[in-house]
Amino acid sequence: MGSPSSRIASTMRHRLGERLWANFVSHANRHYWPNYRRVFTPSSNVLSCSGTVDGNPCPHAFRLDLLSRDVHATSGFLHLDHETKVRDTCYKWLTNLPPRPTSWHDGSEMDELCHALFGVLDSAEGTRCVRFRCSARKVRGRSVKYPHHTYCHTE
């Protein structure tokens, strides 16, 4: 979590500085990575689209069988989607940080912030807010469509 090339890192690392950034990554890895990793290794070996943001089921019941031969060809059509966009969460985080923060979460509620970024399970902070949704796959910057014409992840 928090790899140097992540969207979170590209927005927050410079502002936090190396020490606070390392503290954030350590916290995320310790408290959120195990659950995050677990959603990619379900006991059923199947990842399923959660449906649209407004709660409607996936119109094509998109499923990715992790044991199938075509898993690599179809895996790009399933996207881990944040209910609140990462850029919006990071903007709020940036806005709440004081000029000289003493911790990575200074000015924000630590658990709420992490839940918005990594909440793949229901928790005290709310229902899961990072879910699998089907989407067009990007190949060299262009969208490649699966045989369906509509997707649950639209942005």
Q: What percent of the chain has pLDDT over 70?
A: 87
What pLDDT, on a 0 to 100 scale, did the predictor assign at position 99? 95
Which candidate, 9, 40, 35, 7, places its Cα nearest to that of 104? 9
3-class DSSP assignment, residue 41: coil
Query: Picking from 15-24, 106-115, 129-138, which range would have the lowest pLDDT averaged per residue?
Result: 129-138
pLDDT of 76 over the 70 cut: yes
Which candidate, 90, 85, 87, 89, places its Cα nearest to that of 155? 85
Q: Which two tokens mark 18?
A: 């190396």
| E-state strands within 2-151 | 46-48, 63-65, 78-82, 130-134, 137-139, 142-144
**What are the residue boundaries of the structural domains of the chain, listed by start?**
1-31+84-121, 44-80+129-155
Q: Is the pTM of this model over 0.85?
A: no
CB atoms under 10 Å from CB of 138, counted, come to: 11
Which candidate, 129, 134, 153, 133, places its Cα nearest to that of 35? 129
Using 50, 70 and 90 to split pLDDT, how confident is the model at 136?
confident
Q: 80-91, pLDDT tens digit by residue?
A: 889 889 999 999
Q: Which two tokens mark 102?
A: 């003493």
Q: What percent of the chain has pLDDT over 90?
A: 53
119-128: Cβ within 8 A, 24+ apart: 120/35, 120/36, 120/38, 120/39, 120/80, 121/35, 121/39
Identify any residues that bridge with 142 across adjacent strands, giving them in sequence order: 139
